[in-house]
Amino acid sequence: MIILLSLGVLGDAQADAKLNDLVIVIANGPYAGTYKPNGTAVICMHAKKQRVFTAAFKDFGAHGGKDLAEAGVEVMNPDTAGEKHGNIRIAFGDPDKKPTVYEVSFAPVVLEITVQGGMITFEGKTASDIRMKVTARCLAVDNL
| Per-residue pLDDT reduced to its tens digit, 72-104 | 999 999 999 999 999 999 999 988 888 999 999
Q: How confident is the model over 20-55, as pLDDT tens digits?
A: 999 999 999 999 999 999 989 999 999 999 999 999
Percentage above 90 pLDDT, the chain:
71
Residues 6+ apart with CB under 8 A from 119: 110, 111, 112, 135, 136, 137, 138
Q: Which of 130, 132, 128, 74 is nearest to 106 (CA)?
A: 74
* pTM, to two decimals: 0.84
By residue range, what is the domain housing residue 7? 2-143
- Domains identified in the chain, total number: 1
